[in-house]
């Protein structure tokens, strides 16, 4: 949209400069040409607006309580022509008012620095590069860093720290906090490996990945803190009598994980729908030998009708370690816990509203609901409902979220918690992207 407006401005300015130097007959000709050109631009803008409404676009979810981003969903994996490496990034701040922190309530909420991030993307020859590094007050971490190569018309290979294909892609949510799946390591997870992607052809899309270990090098990776990471990963086994936030006494790491995501795209009565099946399986290593294995599978639906978007997903997972019912996970500089086995269901609805109101170019209203249940450690269900909207205005992208949750990280609890009360968090996340 920015390029489109800039093009119109340049053309208009050029004609204006020519107009001031022209004679009266020339002015009439220029005015006629200018009117014709404006009509063509208006027609192109109308066509683009219609196409944008019919395209699977998700100005979606973001990083939980510590980070956020705007992402446009696309199934096209064809890289752009060589243009060199471009540098971008974002600066984000965050306001929160919570029910579970008395100090926060007494102060009328808190306004904090969220994140500074840098992005690298582009092509050198036929090889693409995509990377993102994130700077927080308390840690620095790489979200993803991979190179890609288009080896056939519809096929691309990526290697490095890349996204594990699973469920609704790239996010199963629209809000700032993701869905409950993210905190299980089953949404927007990035690991070290190789990913082969087939763009939509004959209505089918296929993503196949092999991940040698997590993004920090696995159980014996050379890092000072295995919790300093973007993606939630299992980092150990936890006896039930251990504190759910303690450092794990039995360190574990994911390794040799195979993941596949298969999706079928169809259009019926103006409704564009993606139906998909995902599955993954890998091992767990204690640094000396194999200590167990894990698997997950999921069914997902992602439908678009005009400005509406509906996402459904059902997921089940299990970590198989002898006599263990609870696993330690790490992310954002601290440890937490999840049940070794559980089910998850999510229901998301969103409505996108294009606008031309000053700098505001779009709003998206949404309600995202997630439930984690049938847990092997017999802890209470985890639920989270997020009602909110996002605002796009130039380089600014802002989330306004009202969260109600029980046993949910970043909303006063843990997935391994046993709370009966529903907590509340009102959150505003403001980001400038460049």
Q: What is the 3-state secondary structure (H, E, C) of the chain?
A: CHHHHHHHHHHHHHHHHHHHCCCHHHHHHHHHHHHHHHHHHHHHHHHHHHHHHHCCCCCCCCCCCCCCCCCCCCCCCCCCCCCEEEEEEEEEEEEEEECCCHHHHHHCCEEEEEEEEEEEEEEECCEEEEEEEEECCCCEEEEEEEEEEEEECCEEEEEEEEECCCCCCCCCCCCCCCCHHHHHCCCCCEEEEEEEEEEEECCEEEEEEEEEEECCCHHHCCCCCCCCCCCCEEEEECCCCCCCCCCCCEECEEEEEEEEEEEEEEEECCEEEEEEEEEEEEEEECCCCEEEEEEEEEEEEEEEECCEEEEEEEEEEEEECCCCCEEEEEECCEEEEEECEEEEEEEEEEEEEEEEECCEEEEEEEEEEEEEECCCCCCCCEEEEEEEEEEEECCEEEEEEEEEEECCCCCCCCCCCCCCCCEEEEEEEEEEEC
From CA 365, how far away is CA 128, in angstroms rounded?
A: 34
Residue 13 maps to a domain: yes
Check whether residue 175 and residue 48 sit in a common domain: no
pLDDT in tens, 271-291: 999 999 999 999 999 999 999
- Model confidence pLDDT, tens digit, residues 243-265: 999 999 899 999 999 999 999 99
Q: What is the pLDDT of residues 381-390, one digit of tens each?
A: 999 999 999 9
Going by pLDDT thresholds of 50, 70 and 90, the confidence category of residue 82 is low
pLDDT at 415: 98
Separation of alpha carbons 142 and 137, rounded Å: 15
389 CB-side CA count, 13 A: 9
Residues 21 and 104 in one domain: no
Distance, in Å, from the CA atom of 370 to the CA atom of 133, rounded to the nearest integer, reads: 29
In which order are the strands placed within the sheet that holds 233-237?
Answer: 250-251, 233-237, 326-331, 334-339
237 and 316: one domain? yes
Tell me what pLDDT residue 36 has. Answer: 54
Question: 373 versus 33: which is more confidently predicted?
Answer: 373
> Which range is least confidently modeled, 26-30, 305-309, 425-429?
26-30
> In terms of pLDDT, which residue wins out, 39 or 283?
283
pTM recorded for the entire structure: 0.83
- For 88, other C-beta atoms within 10 Å of its C-beta total 12
Reply yes or no on whether the pLDDT at 41 is more than 60: no
- What's the Rg (C-alpha) of the chain? 24
Clarify whether residues 105 and 40 are in a common domain. Answer: no
Average pLDDT over residues 5-12: 38
* Structure confidence at residue 22 (pLDDT): 39
Closest CA to 9 of 47, 49, 37: 37
Nearest one of 231, 191, 314, 309 to 63, comparing CA atoms: 231
Q: Are 366 and 389 in contact (CB under 8 A)?
A: yes
Q: What are phi and psi of 176, to 5 degrees?
A: -70, -25
- Domain of residue 202, CATH code: 2.40.160
With respect to residue 290, please indicate whether it lies within any of the assigned structural domains: yes
Distance CA 253, CA 249 (A): 13
What total number of domains does the chain contain? Answer: 2
Is residue 68 in a domain? Answer: no
pLDDT attached to residue 78: 47
Structural domain of 44? 1-54
For residue 337, pLDDT beyond 70: yes
Does some domain include residue 144?
no
Are both 105 and 27 inside the same structural domain? no
Nearest to 350 by CA among 383, 399, 395: 399
Q: Are residues 292 and 399 in the same domain?
A: yes
**Is 99 in the same domain as 20?**
no
The arithmetic mean of pLDDT across residues 316-338, rounded, is 97
| Per-residue pLDDT at 54 exceeds 50 | no
Do residues 335 and 393 both lie within one domain? yes
Separation of alpha carbons 259 and 268, rounded Å: 30
Instruction: Tell me the pLDDT tens digit for each residue of 186-200.
Output: 999 999 999 999 988
> Does some domain include residue 209?
yes
Alpha-carbon gap, residue 311 to 368, rounded angstroms: 9
- Judge whether 409 and 183 are in contact, CB under 8 Å: yes
The residue among 25 and 170 whose pLDDT is bigger is 170
Q: What is the mean pLDDT of residues 214-231?
A: 96
Residues 357 and 260 in one domain: yes
Pick the more confident residue, 45 or 281: 281
Is residue 75 in a domain? no
If one counts every other C-beta atom within 10 angstroms of the C-beta of residue 353, the result is 11
One domain, residues 290 and 358: yes
The mean per-residue pLDDT over the stretch 407-425 comes to 97
Does residue 168 register a pLDDT over 50? yes
227 and 361 part of one domain: yes
Is residue 177 domain-resident? Answer: yes
Average pLDDT, the chain: 87
Q: Which of 39, 54, 69 is the last residue of a domain?
A: 54
Residue 24 within a domain:
yes
Claim to verify: residue 347 and residue 273 sit in the same structural domain:
yes
What average pLDDT does the segment 290-313 reach? 98
């Amino acid at each position: 949209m920015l390029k489109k407006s800039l093009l119109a401005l340049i053309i208009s300015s050029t004609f204006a400069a020519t107009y001031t130097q022209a004679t009266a007959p020339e002015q009439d000709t220029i005015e006629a040409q200018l009117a014709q050109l404006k009509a063509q631009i208006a027609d192109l803008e109308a066509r683009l607006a219609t196409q944008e409404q019919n395209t699977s676009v998700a100005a979606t979810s973001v990083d939980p309580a510590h980070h956020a981003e705007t992402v446009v969903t696309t199934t096209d994996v064809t890289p752009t022509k060589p243009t060199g490496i471009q540098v971008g990034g974002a600066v984000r701040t965050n306001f929160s008012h919570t029910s579970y922190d008395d100090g926060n309530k007494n102060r009328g909420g808190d306004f904090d620095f969220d994140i500074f991030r840098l992005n690298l993307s582009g092509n050198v020859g036929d090889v693409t590069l995509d990377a993102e590094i994130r700077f927080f007050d308390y840690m620095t971490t790489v979200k993803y860093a991979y190179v890609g190569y288009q080896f056939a018309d519809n096929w691309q290979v990526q290697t490095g720290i890349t996204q594990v294909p699973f469920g609704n892609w790239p996010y199963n949510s629209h809000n700032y906090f993701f869905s409950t799946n993210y905190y299980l390591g089953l949404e927007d997870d990035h690991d070290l490996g190789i990913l082969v992607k087939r763009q939509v052809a004959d209505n089918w899309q296929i993503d196949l990945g092999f991940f040698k270990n997590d993004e920090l090098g696995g159980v014996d990776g050379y890092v000072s803190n295995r919790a300093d990471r973007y993606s939630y990963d299992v980092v150990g086994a936890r006896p039930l009598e251990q504190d759910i936030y303690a450092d794990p006494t039995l360190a574990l790491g994911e390794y040799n994980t195979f993941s596949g995501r298969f999706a079928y795209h169809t259009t019926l009565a103006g409704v564009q729908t993606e139906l998909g099946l995902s599955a993954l399986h890998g091992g767990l290593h204690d640094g000396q030998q194999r200590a167990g294995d894990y698997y997950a599978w999921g069914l997902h639906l992602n439908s678009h009708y005009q400005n509406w978007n509906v996402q459904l997903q059902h997921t089940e997972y299990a970590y198989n370690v002898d006599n263990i019912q609870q696993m330690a996970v790490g992310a954002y500089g601290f440890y937490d816990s999840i049940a070794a086995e559980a089910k998850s269901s999510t229901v998301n609805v969103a409505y996108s509203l294009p606008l031309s109101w000053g700098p505001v170019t779009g709003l998206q209203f949404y309600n995202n609901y997630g439930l984690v249940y049938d847990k092997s450690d017999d802890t209470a269900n985890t639920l989270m409902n997020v009602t909110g909207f996002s605002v796009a205005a130039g380089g600014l992208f802002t989330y306004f979220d009202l969260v109600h949750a029980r046993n949910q990280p970043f909303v006063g609890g843990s997935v391994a918690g046993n709370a009966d009360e529903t907590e509340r968090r009102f959150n505003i996340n403001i980001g400038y992207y460049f």
